Structure 1
Amino acid sequence: MTISPSRSKIRSAVIALAVAVLAVAGTAAVIGPTTPAHAAATVEDEGIDCPVPNTSVPASSRLPDPFRKLDGTRITSKTEWRCRRAETRELAERTVYGQKPPKPATVSGTVSSTSIQVNVSDQGRSASFSASVQLPSGTGPFPAVVVLGGFGADTATIRNAGAAVINYDPLAVGREGTPRNNKQGAFYTLYGANSSTGILMAWAWGVSRIIDVIEQAGGTVLRPDATGVTGCSRYGKGAFVIGAFDQRIALTMPIESGSGGAPIFRGIPGESGSQPLSSAYGEQPWLGDAFSSYTGNPSGLPIDTHQVIGLVAPRGLFIMENPHIDWLAARSGSNAALAGAEIYKALGAGDNITYWSDVSDGTHCASRSEWRTPLQQNIQKHLLKTGNAAGTIRISSRKQGNLAEWRDWQTPVLTDGPTTPPPTTSPTPTTPPPTTPPPTTPPPGGSCTASTSPGTVWGDRYNTAVTVNGASTWTVVVSVNAPQRITTTWSGSASLNSNGTVLTMRSNGSGNTFGFTTMTNGNSGARPQITSCTAG
């Protein structure tokens, strides 16, 4: 986003408003009961095993109901959110950002007190990039905040709060100033210069690979379970997408992200002076190529940015906006926050979201005193786990949203429901209780049968479930044809060959079903084949 200096010369007086219902003036609104911080996940995407039906969403000028599944029913429990979130993620990839590929075949690198080196290879291609590290005082390992682009973030406050700063140059991963059919950077070196994925998602992929390397380093310098992300302007857009598409991010903090960032797409055409969607799409290849169909018709989008906020939920989120520059669409941003806060409340995490546009300085990407305390509080709560400050919403009277104008749905009261553990790429075998007699082992070479239930193809990946019959212990071999490859498995003891084309899955006491995700790599017409099923 390019902002001329004249846009920042706007008077600075603002009035703080409570905005839970947009009715009480002069105070900050706490949006939910005080609850502990929700920890980041241990995997990039907990919903990788969720089937997503290939169902269209009717066009609407109102914000889509974030609780309504693609089959038309509404979720009633918090445990259903995992797969409802997976639906939203797929729709966002398909229509707004482009696909984020899963972890490459090989990720390696190093972490030191001054730098992180990332090396990746996939499908016969390799790329590398690095980031510098600034540690706070004290003894590590430290939580860390990834800062995009080097400006707009209050890095002094971040370090003084006890978190390291990872200075990430997103342009090394997805370069600006390139045509859509010749994108450049580490991401496109691996996945092709004509990839339809926009550079915001490429930047998100790069941060995920940084987290991979931090995890591999064993937590001697930086903690792998306490990563935040922030950035301003175009890098605020990036921070927003990064936090939404990697559930290992514990704290997401976009600053003045503007059109293509947090503000609702449906609100931008009617907000005077805001950057048009066509401009945000055309200025740089930030958004995915598919978004071109919606720049003049955001009502046709199956999602909006309040649901991208829902992808972050229930983890920490601190949205900072500037109401003095019309180009930044802060009114649409406040509506996104108000609608997104409803998702947080439904999940029992209403105090994990903070929105703040009540600032006096109108300079773009300035370091603001009003944000300093909530920044410290969010780092303490979500990264250090030493605080429990409640989230607040403070909307400037200059850009006051009104959620009632944008929704025709109500927030459900979700039950806790049963606990469903997320899939992992390396399941731990389950040992049967000592009192349970071992299953009878059939003669060597005994047979069983296995049948597949293919999932819906989205982009270039799909999920497949396998059901085994005729044996209580078994080994199933599944094959795919290159350039397809199997990337993720669940509910079994898995081993893959070097290029991911042959999966050997063994029973591990967790039942007679398992599943896996296949990257089609442009070969979506082919399907995995059961090579053999052997009992015992």
Structure 2
Amino acid sequence: MASSIAPEPASGRSRHRHRLRFALVALASVAVAAALALSPRIHSAEAQVQASSEWDGADCNVTVPGSWASSSLLPDPFTKINGSRITTQDEWECRRSEIKELAERTVYGDKPGAPTSVSGTVTSSRITVNVSANGRSTSFSATVQLPSGSGPFPAVIVYGGFGADTSTILGTGTAVINYDPGAVGAEGTGRGNKQGAFYTLYGATSTTGILMAQAWGVSRIIDVIEQSGGSVLNNSTGVTGCSRYGKGAFVAGAFDQRVDLTMPIESGTGGAPALRSIAQESGSQPLSSAYGEQPWLGDAFSAYTSNPAGLPVDTHEMVGMVAPRGLFIMENPHVEWLGARSGAVAALGGAEVYKALGAAGNISYHSNVSDGTHCATRSEWRTPLQQSINTFLKGSGNPPAVISMHPNKSANLSQWRNWTTPVLGAGEPEETTTPPEETTDPEETTSPPPGGSGCTARVEAVSTWNGGWQGNVHVTAGSAAISGWRLTWTWSGSQRITSSWNAAVTSSGASVTADDVGWNGAVASGETRSAWGFVASGSSTAPTVTCTVT
């Protein structure tokens, strides 16, 4: 079954974007507290964008088709509209532009290009923005809080002044820009009479939803900061917000590549959580509810509220659009309406783009919190927040590089995809044959394990909490490649597996047996793979594992 949309004229379908070559910046000694989609160590240089334009990918001629295949699985972020798979980082630039066009067409509505004129001022207390386009003019403003010390300072744009840990942000020596998104895209309006600065320029009947309109406002604030000469604020900018403002922060970071750090908080449906997963996650806000509550999403999304499988994109690809820039997704697993499990699905899927770009440590996801109050300031997020700001806005230290899911809201990416993750290089491609949880660990020995042919395995604790922990299981082939494995071990104490992914696991008391699930059974000679993972109760331990070739 295909979803069908009338194609727009060729002049609208073909978008030419200015290409920005991103630089690879080595971040030495990055300690990755990894989980699920992230391997236990960062295997290559982290990538950080030195952005000079709102959107890169410019020699990219993107043609949006009139229809596309329907699928209940997450779309492959590495397969182009024409059906071929990308193999290099240069190709990713244009593939990212394809994802952007599809997301605008079906989910958010169009984000117009640079306006005719943008001007304004930056002071120690206020930013003013004046914009002209389509023969019309509008303006809006934001307030500024500066930290102690001397500037110019990096800044985090805080949507609505709500839900963000502003004291921690200021404590890192980073300014806070309090942005009123309603001044640019107002809530409480009908779809045929949208209000705010964006719609003053582009019309009250614009089909663009207010999340994209508000993201456009973030881009105009960045324009003014760049024009200001850097006496108060420098050009390192982050964006954050909670709840509906978390939705906005997510969209703003995905659609402007000058945003160095994106930090959505408890964003719920319309934000980071995967749309296909939301439709199946009990208690989460239905797609139709999010579409109808406010004109957050573009008008075209009405065709998909009961048919997310018909979408040509999903939010894991919007996560990938942020890559390789900094991203820290914070979620609340205690409020069902927020769909934290679906957020984990999107984070794990998007993390594959980060890994393919050699930037696995630049994405973090954290829902393993104890306080269930919506938009509370949480102690569990404070340190990774500081690390993220220091790394991506101030250029010091290492990112948190952690995916920490609450055991009640963990996700299994293998249930949501049938695609593999390529190694995107500058030369000849070398594509992996395994999904994201399988990554080669170069610090593991590549010589055969004792006994020659056969296999060995080990359990690594990658995350712990009070009463539980998360483990990754690594399988190493001997002198010959293997096509399947069975692992067995006996717990030394009261540990028990409560959930697992990418293995067929059976337990009887303290005894555990795990078999590969087909696609992850193959391991090359002498190679080590992070093959599967689990969440367990009790204290973390490293049992002695017996590996048998099947």
Note closer, same or farther for the CA distance 1:417–1:29 as it changes in structure 2 (3 Å cut): closer
Question: Residues 124-150 of structure 1, C-alpha deviation per residue, up to 9 Å, x if partnerless?
Answer: 111110000001111111100000011
Tell me, yes or no, if the aligned pair for 2:364 and 2:402 is still in contact at 8 Å: yes
Contact 1:273 / 1:326 at 8 angstroms: preserved in 2? yes
Of 306, 314, 326, 1:296 maps to 306
**What SS does the corresponding residue of 2:352 show, helix, strand or coil?**
helix
Structure 2 residue 396 is matched with structure 1 residue 386? yes
User: What is aligned with 2:343?
Assistant: 333
CA contact (8 A) 1:35 1:351 kept: no
**Which secondary structure does the structure 2 equivalent of 1:384 belong to?**
coil
Question: What one-letter code is carried by the residue in structure 2 that aligns with 1:20?
Answer: L
Q: 1:219 Cα shift?
A: 1.1
Alignment pair present for 1:50 and 2:66: no
**Structure 2: tracts of 5 or more residues without a match:** 1-32, 429-550
Which residue is 1:5 aligned to?
A: none
Q: Which residue of 1 aligns with 2:94?
A: 83
Aligned to 1:455: none
Alpha-carbon distance in structure 2 between the residues aligned to 1:395 and 1:133 = 34
Q: For residue 138 of structure 2, what is the amino acid of its counterpart?
A: A
| 1:149-202 deviation line (CA, Å, top 9, x unaligned) | 111100000010111000000000000000000000000000000000000000
Identical amino acids, percent of aligned pairs: 68
Distance in 2 separating the partners of 1:165 and 1:262 = 23
Q: What do the CA deviations read for 1:345-404 (whole angstroms, capped 9, x no partner)?
A: 000100000000000000000000000000000000000001123511000011111101
One-letter code of the match for 1:363?
A: T
1:402 counterpart (412, 415, 440): 412
User: Is 1:30–1:393's contact at 8 Å kept on the other side of the alignment?
Assistant: no
Matching residue of 1:523: none
Distance 1:366 1:118 in 2: 31
Tell whether 2:162 aligns with 1:151: yes
Q: Deviations over 1:88-121 (max 9, x none)?
A: 0000000000000112101110000110000011
State which of 280, 287, 292 in structure 1 corresponds to 2:290. Answer: 280
Q: Deviations over 1:250-272 (max 9, x none)?
A: 00000000001100000112111
Q: Is the 8 A contact 1:34 1:388 kept in 2?
A: no
* Aligned twin of 2:35: 19
SS in 2 for 1:42: coil
Quote the residue 2:203 is aligned against: 192
**2:190 matched to 1:179?**
yes
- The range that moved more, 110-119 or 47-56, is 47-56
What TM-score do you get using the length of structure 1 for normalisation?
0.72
Contact residue 107 and residue 301 of structure 2 kept, 8 A: yes
What code does the residue aligned with 2:295 have? P
> What is the DSSP-based 3-state SS (H/G/I as helix, E as strand, rest coil) of the residue aligned with 1:131?
strand
Q: Structure 2 vs 1, CA of residues 401 and 74 (structure 1 numbering), >3 Å: closer, same or farther?
A: same
Cα separation, 2, equivalents of 1:129 and 1:377: 32
Aligned partners of 2:284 and 2:337 also within 8 Å: yes
SS in 2 for 1:251: strand
* 1:20-46 per-position Cα deviation (integer Å, ceiling 9, x unaligned): 25xxxxxx9757337445034110011
User: What is the distance in 2 between the residues matched to 1:228 and 1:240?
Assistant: 11
TM-align CA RMSD: 1.5
CA distance in structure 1 between the aligned counterparts of 2:400 and 2:158, rounded to whole angstroms: 24
C-alpha distance in 1 between matches for 2:57 and 2:415: 32
Distance 1:389 1:265 in 2: 28
Q: Distance in 2 between matches of 1:82 and 1:412?
A: 15
Distance 1:381 1:39 in 2: 12
Higher relative contact order (CA 8 A, sep 6+): 1
1-structure distance, mates of 2:90, 2:58: 15
Say whether the 8 Å CA contact 2:268–2:337 is kept in structure 1. Answer: yes
In 2, are the aligned partners of 1:40 and 1:315 still within 8 Å (CA)? Answer: no
* Structure 1 consecutive aligned stretches of length 4 or more whose deviation exceeds 2 Å: 28-37, 53-57
* Matched position secondary structure for 2:250: helix
Q: Within 1, Cα distance between the matches of 2:254 and 2:421?
A: 21
Q: Which of 215, 218, 229 is equivalent to 1:207?
A: 218
- Check the 8 A contact 1:37/1:388 in 2, yes or no: no
What does residue 274 of structure 2 align with? 264
Take 1:215 and 1:351, find their aligned partners in 2: how far apart are those partners?
28
CA apart distance, 1:414: 1.4
2:257 equivalent in structure 1: 247
- Which amino acid letter does the alignment assign opposite residue 90 of structure 1? E
C-alpha displacement of 1:123:
1.5
1:324 aligns with 2:340: no
- Is 1:117 the counterpart of 2:120? The answer is no
Which residue of structure 1 aligns with residue 112 of structure 2?
Answer: 101
The amino acid across from 2:119 in the alignment is: S
1:217 to 209, 228, 234: 228
Unaligned residue ranges in structure 1 (runs of 5+): 1-16, 22-27, 419-536
Aligned equivalents of 2:84 and 2:39: distance in 1?
A: 32
Structure 1 residue matching 2:355: 3-state secondary structure? helix
CA contact (8 A) 2:64 2:102 kept: no
Write the letter of the residue equivalent to 2:366: W
User: 1:18 offset after TM fit, Å?
Assistant: 6.2
Contact 1:76 1:415 in 2 (8 A): yes
Could you tell me which residue of structure 2 aligns to residue 366 of structure 1? 376
Measured in 1, the distance between the counterparts of 2:318 and 2:50 equals: 16
Give the whole-Å Cα distance in 1 for the aligned partners of 2:191 and 2:327: 31
Match of 1:130?
Answer: 141
Q: Paired residues, what number?
A: 395
